Amino acid sequence: MDDATPEQPHKRRVRYRGTHPHRFDEKYKELNPEKYAADVEHVISRGDTPAGTHRSICLAEVLDILNPQPGEIAVDATLGYGGHSQEILKRILPDGILFGLDVDSIELQKTETRLRNAGFGPERFIAVHSNFTALQNMLPKVGHPAVDMILADLGVSSMQIDNPKRGFAYKNEGPLDMRMDQEKGETVAHLLSHLSEAGIAALLHDNADEPNAKVIARGIVGKRQEMTTTRALSKAVKLSLAGLNLDDKAVAQAIRRTFQALRIVVNGEFSALEAFLSEIPYCLKSGGRAVILTFHSGEDNRVVDSFEKGKLAGLYSRTQDAEIRASNEEKYSNPRSKSVRLRWAIRS
Ligand SMILES: C[S@@+](CC[C@H](N)C(=O)[O-])C[C@H]1O[C@@H](n2cnc3c(N)ncnc32)[C@H](O)[C@@H]1O
């Protein structure tokens, strides 16, 4: 062995109970898709998303509307795993450029490495650690004040949801964090340590249409000293609903909505989306295309409203007449696509 290369200690793979790994960190095959391609394919064929990856939603529909052409300039405002970006890049080569933005520096670095390894050099694919609210400010600085297409696939990625350490998953134990950008902002645990009961109820109602917002808020406040983990929050929601005679499905939905509402707050998702929507027309060339994938009514209403107003103001020549949803086949093979709505607009 070369003296200059320190020997790497042999790492035993994690052991799991039973025939299948259950915990995120036990899924070593899924977390190494290059080495275990057949196992990863098997997970996908079951309708699951392999740990540490993300399956792009409405890929064919997105490409159909964005219609990327060689030499065009593209922005993927929510790079994530880079699945949409990779397909756009293939179509805009050899001279096109794609700017991929993400607030999550942890996943951004991994995606940049993955796309570099897939052959996209720094002159064609530029990874940017940024909120998409900074797009209009950023584009002139990189020499492209207006671009041919902008994509945003809102919300969180499967990598973020599945990794218990990020605190998004109500089914797994983890720190109650939920920040997409772990370099700034307040964790959910911190938010719940000081927000008033009325404040919590309002955000559950406004961000997730939770019908039992007041009851849940009371339950959360009663347990807020212990509220540092995802399980503690799930348990507090469940306990707060105990007197209402709800079935398990309704309780699970309330927990899911509570997590969604809090995630939206700590990431400032609605204010960021509104700012971004107001910038899009000024970042697109004439004839430029914008596609946005939304996953709940709070996002979708804002996008529809902005595109309609933009059309009335003459900023867009066309917007979608009817919503586009994932095909039945996609919904079956990737359940995370069930709630998607695709919206598009063309710059006049
Ligand atoms: C659903 S994933 C995108 C998946 C991607 N389309 C793909 O095919 O792999 C959404 C990503 O957007 C990022 N994100 C969410 N809000 C953002 C914002 N305001 N600015 C930049 N990135 C954001 C998240 O961190 C996450 O990585």
23 pLDDT more than 70: no
Same domain as 287, residue 143: yes
pLDDT of residue 172: 86
Same domain as 341, residue 218: no
pLDDT digits (tens, 9 = 90+) for 55-77: 999 999 999 999 999 999 999 99
Same domain as 88, residue 15: no
pLDDT digits (tens, 9 = 90+) for 236-262: 999 999 999 999 999 999 999 999 999
Same domain as 28, residue 67: no
Q: What is the CA(78)–ligand 1 centre distance, in A?
A: 3
Q: What is the CA(243)–ligand 1 centre distance, in A?
A: 38
Same domain as 147, residue 72: yes
Q: What is the CA(270)–ligand 1 centre distance, in A?
A: 14
DSSP state of 282: H
Closest ligand 1 atom, residue 79 Cα: 5
* Residue at 262 is within a domain: no
Dihedral angle of Cα 159, 162, 163, 164, to the nearest 10 degrees = 160
What is the phi/psi pair of residue 8, to 5°? -80, 125
Same domain as 146, residue 276: yes
Report the residue among 102, 277, 280 best suited for mutation to probe ligand 1: largest number of ligand atoms under 8 A from its CB: 102
Say how many CA atoms lie within 13 Å of 39 toward its Cβ: 14
| Domain of residue 237, residue span | 182-255
In whole angstroms, give the CA distance from residue 36 to residue 29.
6
216 pLDDT more than 90: yes
Same domain as 221, residue 76: no
Q: What is the CA(79)–ligand 1 centre distance, in A?
A: 5
Q: Using a 6 Å cutoff on CB, does residue 132 contact ligand 1?
A: yes
Q: Using a 6 Å cutoff on CB, does residue 103 contact ligand 1?
A: yes
For 261-284, b/e burial (b = at least 16 CB within 10 A) is bbbbbbbbbeebbebbbebbbebb
In whole angstroms, give the CA distance from residue 270 to residue 207.
9
Tally of domains within the chain? 3
Alpha helices in the chain (DSSP H): 37-45, 59-66, 83-92, 105-117, 135-141, 158-162, 188-194, 197-208, 213-222, 230-240, 248-266, 269-283, 297-312, 328-333
pLDDT higher for 43 or 266?
Answer: 266
pLDDT of residue 2: 38
* Residue at 263 is within a domain: no
Q: State which of 210, 232, 255 marks the end of a domain.
A: 255
pLDDT digits (tens, 9 = 90+) for 79-127: 999 999 999 999 999 999 999 999 999 999 999 999 999 999 999 999 9
Q: State which of 190, 221, 255 marks the end of a domain.
A: 255
pLDDT digits (tens, 9 = 90+) for 275-304: 999 999 999 999 999 999 999 999 999 999
Same domain as 72, residue 36: no
Q: Using a 6 Å cutoff on CB, does residue 299 contact ligand 1?
A: no
In percent, how much of the chain has pLDDT > 70? 86
* Residue at 200 is within a domain: yes
**Separation in Å, CA 346 to CA 65, 146, 285, 291, 336:** 10, 13, 10, 9, 27
pLDDT digits (tens, 9 = 90+) for 199-211: 999 999 999 999 9
Q: State which of 255, 282, 311 marks the end of a domain.
A: 255
Q: Could you tell me the pLDDT band of residue 6, with boundaries at 50, 70 and 90? A: very low
Mean predicted lDDT score pLDDT of the chain = 91
Same domain as 231, residue 87: no
Q: Using a 6 Å cutoff on CB, does residue 334 contact ligand 1?
A: no
Same domain as 210, residue 65: no
Same domain as 86, residue 37: no
